Amino acid sequence: MSIVVLARLMARTGRVAEPAPPRPELAPGVDPVLRGSLQVRHVDAGSCGGCEVELGAAFGPVYDAERYGARLVASPRHADALLVTGAVTHNMAEPLRMTYAATPGPKVVIACGDCALGLGPVCAGYGVAGTVADVVDVDVAVPGCPPRPEAVVAALRSVTGR
Ligand code: SF4
């Protein structure tokens, strides 16, 4: 596709992002150095995949979490925040602990979805070791099964303050 065709397509499509809702309250207890810009490592600790679909939407062009200063990164070494989904399975408890340890401080943990909070449909399963808070310190909780993209974005904004 030529640059001219691309420019025409962009002009015709216009803006697709949702208008920004009012800024949510700041999450208490978050180190102020994390405000403004937040690098986020996602950890699936035992999700069914539903939360990930909504996370994909939260970082997609419509909800566009990046415009509020939150960005997904590929390594905990590059992250300020862990965004954890799913009930923590026995197999994922130690990797989650290690991922937390590999994330440089100050850092924040966002437990995303009912399963991460111990409220989800699979929490009593034989393979589940516990909630995210049973394994690492949780700073922000996002309830819902799955949480809507707006709720995920609001949780991220409560940390970035944007
Ligand atoms: S909260 Fe719901 S959507 Fe998310 S992992 Fe649990 S069952 Fe799946």
Q: Whose CA is nearest to atom 6 of ligand 1?
A: 115
Task: Give the integer Cα–Cα distance in Å for 110 and 121.
Answer: 20
How far, in Å, is the centroid of ligand 1 from the Cα of 49?
7
Beta-ladder partners of 88: 130
Measuring from each residue's beta carbon to the nearest atom of ligand 1, which residues come in under 6 Å? 47-48, 50-51, 85-86, 113-115, 120-122, 145-146
How far, in Å, is the centroid of ligand 1 from the Cα of 124?
13
Does this model's pTM top 0.85? My answer is: yes
CATH-assigned architecture of domain 35-160: 3-Layer(aba) Sandwich (3.40)
- Segment 82-129, tens digit of pLDDT: 999 999 999 999 999 999 999 999 999 999 999 999 998 888 899 999
Q: Measuring CA to CA, which residue among 161, 148, 159 is closest to residue 18?
A: 148
Question: In the prediction, which pLDDT does 94 show?
Answer: 98
Q: Which three-class secondary structure state does DSSP give residue 111?
A: strand
Kindly provide the residue ranges of all beta strands, DSSP E only, lying in the chain, ordered along the sequence: 38-44, 70-72, 81-85, 88-89, 108-112, 128-130, 140-142
